[in-house]
């Protein structure tokens, strides 16, 4: 469970990224966060694993305050949270398998991981993870030789190898074409359903949000302006979230034409 209590984030230059956010997300939910560029979607996601420090309030992960955690405590909380980025964030010149094994670094000493000494069980786990996203045959290929969609699958496999309980995906499909977008979203959804991993995805396209999420959170100027099931996220509500009628650029199906 993720609990966000009265969280605000003011950047050093005075910009308000988050404005008094209160939110509870239960284990196993699939949540899409939507809103215009600059609404605070990335700030919200990155605050959840403390890539950003909030300036007010508190965030609890599984009942533990990540806001207050330090050192080992912080590392232990972060071990349960997998991140997926628009730009994949892989070690490009390194094999797919090593990239997936990077998900295991939180479980071992730094020396062991620097030397690349992962136990046999980790390697087996990494292969199982690659299998779940259908790219086990690419294990020994260099990451930068894969297509964008395949690279994002490696990033998903890395999170699976990490045995994360929460996946935070910050615009995971923004660099992908429409077909690959659907494949990656299908992978995320299947993993959410099979393993009950809480999944929070920042999405630009509202048709994708409706198709894949069970709950939609709309942000505007750092605040929550909508929080409800997909059935309530009508075009009218989206227009309220965006502060204007929804346009073609917010629909994958139309943007793809």
Ligand X SMILES: Nc1ncnc2c1ncn2[C@@H]1O[C@H](COP(=O)(O)OP(=O)(O)OP(=O)(O)O)[C@@H](O)[C@H]1O
Interface residues with ligand X (CB under 6 A) are 11, 13, 15, 17, 35, 37-43
Q: Nearest approach, Cβ of 47 to ligand X (angstroms)?
A: 9
Given the DSSP bridges, would you call strands 2-10 and 16-25 parallel, antiparallel or unpaired?
Answer: antiparallel
Least distance in angstroms from the C-beta of 242 to ligand X = 12
Give Cα 141 to chain centroid, integer Å.
25
Distance of closest approach, residue 40 Cβ to ligand X, in angstroms: 4
Dist. CA 16–CA 209, nearest whole Å: 25
Closest approach, Cβ 23 to ligand X, in A, equals 15
Question: What are 22's two structure tokens?
Answer: 């209160």
Q: Which is nearer to ligand X, 40 or 172 (CB)?
A: 40
* Distance, CA of 225 to CA of 238 (rounded, Å): 10
Closest approach of Cβ 241 to ligand X, in Å? 11
**For ligand X, the closer CB: 15 or 134:** 15
Using CA atoms, how far apart are residues 206 and 186, in angstroms rounded to an integer?
A: 16
Rounded distance between C-alpha atoms, residue 116 and residue 109, angstroms: 11
Q: How many helices (H) and strands (E) does the chain have?
A: 10, 10
CB atoms within 10 A of CB 247: 10
**Cβ distance to ligand X smaller for residue 7 or 157:** 7
- Shortest CB 43 distance to ligand X, Å: 3
Among residues 16 and 128, whose Cβ is nearest to ligand X? 16
Structure tokens that stand for 131 in this block: 């299998």
Q: Which is nearer to ligand X, 13 or 231 (CB)?
A: 13
Q: For residues 18 and 8, is the Cβ–Cβ distance under 8 A?
A: yes
DSSP 49-109: TTSS--SEEEEEETTEETTT--HHHHHHHHHTEEEEETT----TTSBHHHHHHGGGGGGS-
Q: Which is nearer to ligand X, 47 or 150 (CB)?
A: 47
Nearer to ligand X, 37 or 231 (CB): 37
CB of 39 to ligand X, least distance (A): 4
């Amino acid at each position: 469970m993720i609990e966000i209590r009265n969280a605000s984030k003011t950047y050093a230059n005075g910009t308000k990224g988050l404005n008094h956010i209160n939110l509870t997300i239960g284990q196993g939910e699939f949540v899409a966060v939507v809103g215009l560029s600059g609404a605070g979607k990335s700030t919200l996601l990155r605050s959840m694993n403390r890539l950003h420090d909030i300036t007010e309030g508190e965030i609890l992960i599984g009942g533990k305050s990540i806001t207050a955690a330090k050192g080992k405590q912080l590392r232990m909380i972060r071990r349960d949270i997998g991140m997926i980025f628009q730009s994949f964030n892989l070690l490009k010149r390194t094999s797919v398998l090593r990239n997936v094994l990077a998900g295991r670094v939180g479980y071992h000493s730094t020396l062991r991981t620097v030397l690349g000494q992962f136990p046999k069980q980790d390697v087996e786990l990494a292969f199982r993870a690659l299998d779940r996203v259908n790219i086990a045959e690419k294990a020994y290929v260099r990451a930068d030789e894969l297509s964008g969609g395949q690279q994002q699958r490696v990033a998903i496999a890395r999170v699976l190898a990490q045995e994360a309980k929460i996946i935070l995906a910050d615009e995971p499909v923004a660099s992908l074409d429409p077909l690959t977008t659907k494949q990656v979203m299908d992978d995320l959804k299947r993993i959410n359903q099979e393993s009950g991993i809480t999944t929070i995805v920042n999405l630009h396209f509202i048709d994708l949000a409706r198709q894949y999420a069970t709950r939609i959170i709309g942000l505007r100027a750092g605040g929550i302006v909508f929080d409800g099931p997909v059935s309530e996220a009508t075009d009218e509500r989206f227009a309220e979230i965006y502060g204007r009628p929804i346009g073609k650029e917010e629909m994958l199906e139309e943007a793809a034409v």
